Structure 1
Amino acid sequence: MQRNAFSRMVLSSTEPAELVLSVAAAEGQRITETLSVTQGGREVPIREVIDDRGTRLHVAQMAPGRLEMDYRVEVTGQQDPIALGALDSIQYLRPSRYCESDTLFPTARSDFAGLSGLDLLDSVGSWVNGHLSYVPGSSAPTDGAVRTFLDRRGVCRDYAHLVVALLRALDVPARLVSVYAPGLYPMDFHAVAEALIDGRWYVIDATHLAPRQSLVRIATGRDASDTAFLSSSGGWVKLLELEVGAVADVLPRDDVAEFVSIG
């Protein structure tokens, strides 16, 4: 399978700022890519930093004014399997900022009693899909899984956070992954959950909005605080434009009853 994806941002700031971009395809994928950051018609130097999960971050210094970022990637085949980290079964069981598994512990233990393994993954994903409504603009950037559970609506990151929180409450290591998603509508950066069962990470997309087999991994972390496509420090940065696209030469037909791994 061949997939092509791109993202474009236009930013502005009235003071110097440091940008951290998380838009590049993660390590372990066979890619051809270009990344360009320009300001005032000049290329801005970029420094790459790779974390222990293979997320590739790109750091750039922004001067006051308008800045443009363009990223394009061609991905061939599937991602190489990611080796299990020594801390995976520890850090991805703990509550985190947007995945308050400790607060949801009583609910998870009551609603999914007696389930384990792949049956549990299927039940949690189906429950979240059936109890939430996908409503663009319905959640705030600071909303976590508990807010989503109470409101019963959200967007992809909200679905993923709730899946992750419920699974962690049930002693299943779970994490959030940002991806390019061919077939997604409306097109944007997408977020899904991953759960660790019997030494393998399985992807759960409770939105059912894009085929999981075509996903291109960008960033992996505890929740959205680890996978944001843009963060900044030192100055107030405004996002003026954002455009994301992803296509595949063959768009798979995803059977939600099957268990799929990104890599």
Structure 2
Amino acid sequence: MQRVVRAELDLDVEGELDLILSVAVAAGVPVAHERLTLERNGQDLVPTVMTDAAGTRLHRIRVGAGPVRVRYDARVEGGAERRSASELDTAVYLRPSRYAPSDSVFGQARRQFGGLRGSDLLAAVEAYVAETVTYSPGLSLGTDSAVTTLATGQGVCRDYAHLVIALLRAMDVPARYVACYAPGLVPMDFHAVAEAWIDGRWLVVDATRLSNRRSLVRIATGRDAADCAFLSYYGANLALPRMIVDAHVEGDGDAVAAASDPLRDDRTELISLA
């Protein structure tokens, strides 16, 4: 099974700034082909590449005013090697964070999920968030946390992921945020899911139920969305007049076709991000 991913960003930079991109697939993802280009006024720009402890690859560059074109495409063949959790991971991903303040939902989590452990807890949290939150593009803000989502019952993928993460952490389960490409996602965009450390492996949770977890391609991993923004900039302003994200599965056979169909993801199955 091959997964083909693509992102196109057209930026209008208003002044000199520090630009940081997180659109490339994570380190360790097996790519058969990959290309990232940054261009301004017909000239190629060469960014600095940085990789964090979780495997997130950041491309950083100082640019001046003017239009900047970002183009990324990759062909992923096979699955990434599974990473274990370090002692540091299981400490950091238990702590409350900016958008997943598990201490603020502690009482709700304990009342709702008291007595549940392991995969039973994971299934219960996924079902609770899926059934109580309505996917509502345009109605949530980038500053909303899991507390807001719990109160309003609406949000987009990042809000679902934050609420899952906060509830799991409140139940003493290490949980983290993953930005990814998601073949078959409608509407197509960068996607966000949660991962939980259960029984010695990271398991994927997508409470939006809009993706097939088998086809997801990891981009960035962190405590919450603050660690995984696809675009960050400092020093001036910019506009993003055009953005295209695309991801699809290529190959022969029904199994390949099924891998990009969210309706054919068995939600009872425990899956690690490939």
Shorter-chain TM band: over 0.9
**Paired amino acid for 2:59:** H
Identity of aligned residues (%): 49
> Matched residues in 1 for 2:89 and 2:200: separation?
10
> Matched residues in 2 for 1:143 and 1:39: separation?
34
> Matched residues in 2 for 1:97 and 1:237: separation?
24
**Paired amino acid for 1:223:** D
> Matched residues in 2 for 1:69 and 1:183: separation?
23
> Matched residues in 1 for 2:14 and 2:95: separation?
39
Displacement of 1:200 in angstroms is: 0.4
Mapping of 1:150-161 within 5 angstroms?
150-161=151-162
Q: How many pairs align?
A: 263
Displacement of 1:199 in angstroms is: 1.6
> Matched residues in 2 for 1:190 and 1:23: separation?
11
CA contact (8 A) 1:160 1:192 kept: yes
Displacement of 1:238 in angstroms is: 1.6
Match for residue 28 of structure 1?
28
* Over 3 Å off, 4+ runs: none
Match for residue 86 of structure 1?
87
> Matched residues in 2 for 1:86 and 1:62: separation?
39
> Matched residues in 2 for 1:64 and 1:21: separation?
17
Match for residue 179 of structure 1?
180
**1:60-117: CA deviation from partner (whole Å, max 9, x where unpaired):** 2221011110000000001111132231110000000000100000000000011000
> Matched residues in 1 for 2:199 and 2:28: separation?
22
> Matched residues in 1 for 2:197 and 2:46: separation?
38
SS of residue in 2 equivalent to 1:202 = strand
SS of residue in 1 equivalent to 2:116 = coil
> Matched residues in 1 for 2:266 and 2:19: separation?
39
Mapping of 1:197-216 within 5 angstroms?
197-216=198-217
Match for residue 253 of structure 2?
none
SS of residue in 2 equivalent to 1:103 = helix
Q: 1:136 and 2:137 equivalent?
A: yes
CA contact (8 A) 2:84 2:202 kept: no
> Matched residues in 2 for 1:13 and 1:20: separation?
13
**Paired amino acid for 1:149:** L
**TM-score between both structures, scaled by the size of structure 2:** 0.95
Displacement of 1:42 in angstroms is: 0.4
**1:97-144: CA deviation from partner (whole Å, max 9, x where unpaired):** 000100000000000011000000000000000001001111001101
Listed as ranges, the gaps of 5+ residues in structure 1 are none
**Structure holding more helix per residue:** 2
Q: 1:117 and 2:128 equivalent?
A: no
SS of residue in 2 equivalent to 1:87 = helix
Match for residue 273 of structure 2?
262
**1:177-196: CA deviation from partner (whole Å, max 9, x where unpaired):** 00000010000000000000
Match for residue 18 of structure 2?
18
CA contact (8 A) 1:37 1:70 kept: yes
> Matched residues in 2 for 1:132 and 1:231: separation?
28
> Matched residues in 1 for 2:98 and 2:115: separation?
28
> Matched residues in 2 for 1:222 and 1:138: separation?
23
The two structures, once aligned, show a CA RMSD in angstroms of 0.8
Displacement of 1:235 in angstroms is: 1.1
CA contact (8 A) 1:44 1:61 kept: no
CA contact (8 A) 2:106 2:167 kept: yes
**Paired amino acid for 2:16:** P
Q: 1:49 and 2:50 equivalent?
A: yes
